[in-house]
Amino acid sequence: MAQDYDHDLQSIQEARALAEAAYEAQQEFFRFSQEQVDRICEAMAGAAYRESARLGQMASEETGYGVPRHKMLKNHLGSKLVWEAIKDIKTVGVISRDPARGIVEIGWPMGVVAALSPSTNPTSTVMYKTLISVKARNGIVHAPHPAAYKCCGETARVMAEAGATAGMPAGLVSCMSKISLPGTQELMKHKRIAVILATGGSDMVRVAHSMGKPAYGVGPGNVPCYVDRSADIKKAAYTIVSSKAFDNSVICATEQAVVADKPIAAQLRTEMERLGAYFVNPDQAAALANVLFSPTGVINPRSVGQTPQTLAQMAGIQIPAEARILVAPLSKVGRDEPLSREKLTTVLGWYEADGWEAGCERCLEMIRFGGRGHTLVIHATDENVILQFGLEKPVFRILVNTMGTLGSVGFTTNLMPAMTLGSGGVGGSISGDNITTTHLLNIKRVAYGVNNPPAEAMVDAPAAASVAGGNSAGPSQAEVETIVRAVIEEVLGRKGGY
């Protein structure tokens, strides 16, 4: 007990020390030019990219989640793709001029970022958050999940070392090594922290939002995937199975259930089965539900990011050795159907709906149950159906004919590459964007006077204009005396009559 207590104190002290060091470094970094900032970021991105395979392997081994080669690809996104997307964004000094409007915009850093990273996507998240923070001239202190602190610390070390070689002040990028809840809370509330980037479980995100500071958080992603009768069925099946199997489904925008249009449902199922989707029976589905969730609906951490074979062993069921994902036919959405929840593992729900309107309603049920503001996937070629889904769904990423996993984070789409996906106001977030460097950049505006003020606003303005045709200067002294005399006479007359 005393040992735990000491660890908490050490964690709190480390958080304070790293926050102060990042602040001091950021004060120096504030004076750096755009060229210097970009040289440092480019060096860090390159170092992280070169180490992507090693760090991906390290993340998988430490956490027990996912597939090393898939984590390498996410590291490629967190380093190279993120840098390519933000490298031309101006963040230092004058970032834009609009002579016609008389507006000059000046980039201004927020300060020091507290960055919470999850165990599901640890190294790629550290890479991405470091680059978007430093690009905007912020310092950053990472607070990783306890199950991923080694790989996160190594990623931060690789990037900080490359940044230092390129001229970055010491302490600008760091990572906590003594992880505890009190320590992470101390970091978030520390006076030197200006903004919080929270990627992780719902409880930690809620804590981040309660700190009284700007915070970018993400909500759960119970992502429905509607397959319309107009879709390319073979391509849809290939994309869905690949996406659900990618890194054993630990990205929050992974498809959580297919909603298949009835006329093509049988064909879609056949194609998915051919690609390694194993459809479980009701008893097997119930056994999986017991393994994935507690009776209150809390996900079992041991089930996260696991292969179908591992899950089957945990559930005591038999499945083919070649199964890539497990698919459970479902009939309802809600607390009575555990597998209709978000499942950060290789289990996919399956619904059938006759027509896009019915499919739309089923997707809405899923989103309302646990995915407000996040993501929806649709496979279709009918542009009217696609537009209707875009208009109706309370989510901020509608992905068309692509993977939920890689489309949401900007790998297979032109969305901004990001590992923090905002869920907007409906999802409890302050943004529905893919969070990037512009979200960590304040903008000062120099605004020139371009319109003459109204004459009435000036000190030498004439008397105010009359209201409804009356005398704007009010009654004269003589008129006031006449009114007062009349009132007095009326009052005296009334008294005389009593």
Q: Determine the pLDDT at residue 462.
A: 83
Amino acid at 123: T
Euclidean distance between CA atoms 421 and 494, whole angstroms: 78
> How far apart are the C-alpha atoms of 434 and 448, rounded to whole Å?
33
In angstroms, how far is the first alpha carbon of the chain from the final one?
Answer: 91
Cα angle 440-446-452, degrees, rounded to a multiple of 5: 140
Same domain, 243 and 386: yes
Q: pLDDT tens digits, residue range 55-78?
A: 999 999 999 999 999 999 999 999
Q: Please work out, in degrees rounded to the nearest 5, the angle formed at the alpha carbon of residue 46 by the alpha carbons of 40 and 51.
A: 130
Residues 25 and 114 both lie in one domain: yes
* Per-residue model confidence (pLDDT) at position 17: 98
Residue indicated by tokens 């981040």: 208
385 and 284 in one domain? yes
The answer to whether residues 453 and 446 touch, using CB atoms and an 8 Å cutoff, is no
Predicted confidence band at 497 (pLDDT cuts at 50, 70, 90)? Answer: very low
Residues 321 and 396 in one domain: yes
pLDDT digits (tens, 9 = 90+) for 204-229: 677 877 788 999 987 778 999 999 99
What residue ranges in 138-236 does DSSP mark as E strands? 139-144, 173-175, 193-198, 215-217, 223-227
CB contact at 8 A, 26 and 137? yes
Total domains present in the chain: 2
Residue 498 has pLDDT above 50, yes or no: no
Given pLDDT bands bounded at 50, 70 and 90, which one contains residue 2?
Answer: low
- Contact at 8 Å (CB) between 59 and 122? yes
From the number of C-beta atoms within 10 Å of its C-beta (0-12, 13-18, 19+), residue 368 rates as middle
Question: Are residues 192 and 113 part of one domain?
Answer: yes
pLDDT tens digits along 376-390: 999 999 999 999 999
The SS3 call for residue 96 is strand
Q: Which of 179, 178, 183, 184 is nearest to 197 (CA)?
A: 184
- pLDDT the model gives residue 207: 80
Q: How confident is the model at residue 21 (pLDDT cuts 50, 70, 90)?
A: very high
Q: Is residue 244 part of a domain?
A: yes
The CA dihedral of 122, 77, 84, 18, to the nearest 10 degrees, is 0
Q: What is the CATH number of the domain that holds 387?
A: 3.40.309.10
The two structure tokens encoding residue 259: 């909603």
- Residue 185 sits in the same domain as residue 233: no
If one compares 199 and 301, the residue with the highest pLDDT of the two is 301
For residues 160 and 243, membership in a common domain is answered with no
pLDDT at site 145: 94
Helix (H) or strand (E) holding 468, with range, is none
Residues 139 and 262 both lie in one domain: no
- Position 73 scores a pLDDT of 97
Q: Rounded mean pLDDT of 327-353?
A: 96
- 34-50 and 68-76 helices, crossing angle to 10°: 170
Which of 222, 226, 215 has the alpha carbon at shortest distance from 189? 215
Give the CATH number, domain containing residue 87. Answer: 3.40.605.10
Cα(489)–Cα(318) distance, rounded to whole angstroms? 106
Q: 261 is in which domain, residue-wise? A: 223-410
Query: In terms of domains, do 313 and 370 share one?
Result: yes
Phi/psi of residue 327, nearest 5 degrees: -120, 130
Annotated catalytic residues are 252
Question: What tokens were used for 48?
Answer: 């992280």
Please list the alpha-helical segments (H only) found in 97-180. 122-135, 149-165
Same domain, 72 and 186: yes
